[in-house]
Amino acid sequence: MADRRKIPNAVLRAVRENEFQMSRQEFAKLIVTTGEEMGETVACTPRLVAAWEDRDVQLPRAVYRRVLTRLTGRTMGELGFRLSSPARPVAPASVADVPEQEQGVDRRAFVMDGAGAALSLIPLGATRENPPGRIGVGDVRAVDRAVSQIYAHDHDHGSAALRRAASEALHTAYQWLQEGTYTERTGKRLRSATGHLSIAAGWLSYDSGRPADARSLYNEALAAARIADDPALEGHAFGCLSLLAKASGRPREAISAAQGAQTVVKSYGSARMLSLMAMREAGGWALLGDASATDQAIVRAHRLYAKGPTDADPAWLEFYTPAELAGLEALARADLDQHERAAAGAEQAVLLHGDAFARNRALYTADIAIQHAVRERPEPEAAAEAASRVLAYLPEVRSDRLLKQLHNVESALQRHAAVPAVADWLEEYRTKTGVS
């Protein structure tokens, strides 16, 4: 029997398409506008609307329920949402009796909660009394879906609520590897998928201010990549270690890891991935203060990016858009104290992101505020305006990095506290975040 939870929400889609005659992007904007009229702060995106319609999210969280009811005049049940999710009984048949291609349909499911902020794997873990049994391609796809769900939610809302659930999913994947039975081919694919899940969990740890946990998870992914002979995964892990090293103030390690990533994926066939790793290298050189090496790496990154996408580009690379290319260059310029170029690049990144990647938009907007505040000829009013835009992302975006960046914005603006617009922002910041 098919999993009923994955039957699309045709009612909500019909309301959007037939009654409102809107695209998902237009509908998301209308939800934001309606929320503002109600005094509610929401950051709805086309991705979230898609999650509702595809039933990746069973029930919107309370604030969206209020907005949707106000907007449509319907209850959640009338909009096609399921108000409860009764547990399914466990099938008595042994999993070994199920064809490998069909495994995964009834053994596990990834469920986003009402806030779209929790991802769980069913079962959460095998025990000695209830071992995982035979692992098939359905299980591998389940792990892949977990990675996609993590990134989709993280891009728009940050990492805070997902970190623990992702850790549980990773624990399950490791149990499948250690205690399950599978063919050699399936085992290789499962190990690669688990490595990608480890990177996703590591990213959540990094974004939540847990660099030691992130480093451990990235190293686990690196080991999985080498065992599975997966160069794309190995390059991704090296790239993440480079990012983490830079964030921890270790520029030479960041450069070495980024160069290692480029060596691994050089023959993989993805110019975009090589471009990202070149930009990671540029970040290390910038932190080291070497402007010439930074420029060389940035030029290489742009040249590689211009070659365009290929079939070899991995799915996780979707975040690396022209907006992110501009934003990463802006960060490097900031580390070189090229504040005007950094502010302009961050503005370009926010503009190019459009309505997507809310957390990244918030972080780059904070960079704009900081660069305006610390440049040779400060522009405190422009800094305060950008800083106000950052506060609008709270509390929808929950990221330790964003909170730290807001603290950095506050520190940069303190020197301009006599400017009325800055004084107003400082008061709003302390009120909204509870900082004394």
Radius of gyration of the chain (CA): 23
Taking alpha carbons only, the member of 435, 197, 185 closest to residue 316 is 197
CA 176 centroid distance within chain: 25
Can you give the pLDDT at residue 113?
37
CA distances (Å), origin 188, targets 108, 162, 191, 261, 316: 20, 27, 5, 21, 19
In order, the DSSP letters of 292-356 are HHHHHHHHHHHHHHTT---TT--GGGGG--HHHHHHHHHHHHHHTT-HHHHHHHHHHHHHHHTTS
Would strands 119-120 and 111-112 be described as parallel, antiparallel, or unpaired?
Answer: antiparallel
- Spatial separation of the C-alpha atoms in residues 318 and 63, rounded to whole Å: 29
> What letter does residue 399 receive in the DSSP assignment?
-
Backbone angles phi, psi at 120, to 5 degrees: -130, 155
Beta strands per DSSP E along 62-219? 111-112, 119-120
CA distances (Å), origin 112, targets 57, 61, 307: 5, 11, 37
- Per the structure block, which two tokens stand in for 97? 């009796």
- Spatial separation of the C-alpha atoms in residues 79 and 85, rounded to whole Å: 16
Give yes or no for a contact between 362 and 393, defined as CB atoms under 8 angstroms apart.
yes
Give yes or no for a contact between 31 and 64, defined as CB atoms under 8 angstroms apart.
yes
- Per the structure block, which two tokens stand in for 370? 């900081």
Backbone angles phi, psi at 327, to 5 degrees: -65, -40
pLDDT tens digit at each of 436 positions of the chain:
334 446 889 899 989 988 888 888 889 889 988 888 887 777 787 778 887 888 877 888 777 888 898 898 888 888 998 875 433 333 333 323 333 333 332 223 332 333 233 344 323 344 334 456 788 888 888 888 888 878 777 665 555 557 777 887 888 888 888 888 999 999 999 999 999 999 999 988 888 888 999 999 999 999 999 999 999 999 999 999 999 999 999 999 999 999 999 999 998 999 999 999 999 999 999 999 999 999 999 999 999 999 999 999 988 898 899 999 999 999 999 999 999 999 999 999 999 998 888 888 999 999 999 999 998 899 999 999 999 999 988 888 777 888 889 999 999 999 999 999 999 999 999 888 876 5
Q: What share of the chain is helix, strand, coil (3-state, %, to 5)?
A: 65, 0, 30
Which residue shows structure tokens 């690049």? 345
- Spatial separation of the C-alpha atoms in residues 191 and 226, rounded to whole Å: 10
Taking alpha carbons only, the member of 85, 398, 71 closest to residue 49 is 71
> What letter does residue 96 receive in the DSSP assignment?
G
Half-sphere exposure of residue 302: CA atoms within 13 angstroms, side-chain side: 10
- Per the structure block, which two tokens stand in for 356? 């997507």
Taking alpha carbons only, the member of 291, 297, 323 closest to residue 242 is 297
Buried b (16+ CB within 10 A) or exposed e, 158-180: bbbbbbebbebbbebbbbbbeeb
Can you give the pLDDT at residue 401?
83
- The predicted model scores a pTM of 0.67
Angle between helices 358-374 and 380-391 (to 10 degrees): 160
97-102's contacts with Cβ under 8 Å and 24+ in sequence apart are 98/136, 99/136, 100/134, 100/136, 100/137, 100/138, 100/183, 100/186, 101/136, 101/137, 101/138, 102/136, 102/138
